[in-house]
């Protein structure tokens, strides 16, 4: 079996975050695509905006594009081999002493 085929069948660790299409950026010329600026909820302020080509595919394979204000989901995934277990910090509780 091809190793790439095995990887594609394996479920990848992922996170899906809600987002909103905040702005549609017109193409700068015939060789440049229209862009969608998406604000990702839950991301740090300086890194919450992502710009991607404004092109999606519907369930029938047709090309569509989201409108300004559209609620979207942003999914980030990685191959298991490219991840490490997360270590959780213990919560420390302070008590007032008298």
Instruction: Report how far residue 6's alpha carbon sits from residue 81's, in angstroms, rounded to the nearest whole number.
Output: 13
In the DSSP assignment, the letter for residue 77 is E
Asked if 13 and 77 count as a contact pair (C-beta separation under 8 A), the reply is: yes
pLDDT of residue 93: 62
Q: Using 50, 70 and 90 to split pLDDT, how confident is the model at 1?
A: very low
Instruction: Report how far residue 25's alpha carbon sits from residue 28's, in angstroms, rounded to the nearest whole number.
Output: 8
Q: Using 50, 70 and 90 to split pLDDT, how confident is the model at 97?
A: low
pLDDT digits (tens, 9 = 90+) for 63-81: 999 999 999 999 999 999 9
Distance, CA of 33 to chain centre:
20
pLDDT digits (tens, 9 = 90+) for 19-65: 999 999 999 999 999 999 999 999 999 999 999 999 999 999 999 99
pTM: 0.72
């Amino acid at each position: 079996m091809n190793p790439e085929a095995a990887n594609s069948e394996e479920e990848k660790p992922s996170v899906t975050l809600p987002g909103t299409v905040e702005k549609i950026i017109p193409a700068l010329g015939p060789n440049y695509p229209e862009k969608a600026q998406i604000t990702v909820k839950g991301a740090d302020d300086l890194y919450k905006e992502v710009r991607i080509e404004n092109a999606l595919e519907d369930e029938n394979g047709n090309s569509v594009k989201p409108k300004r204000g559209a609620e979207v989901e942003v999914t980030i995934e990685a191959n298991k081999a490219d991840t490490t277990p997360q270590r959780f910090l213990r919560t420390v509780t302070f008590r007032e002493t008298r």
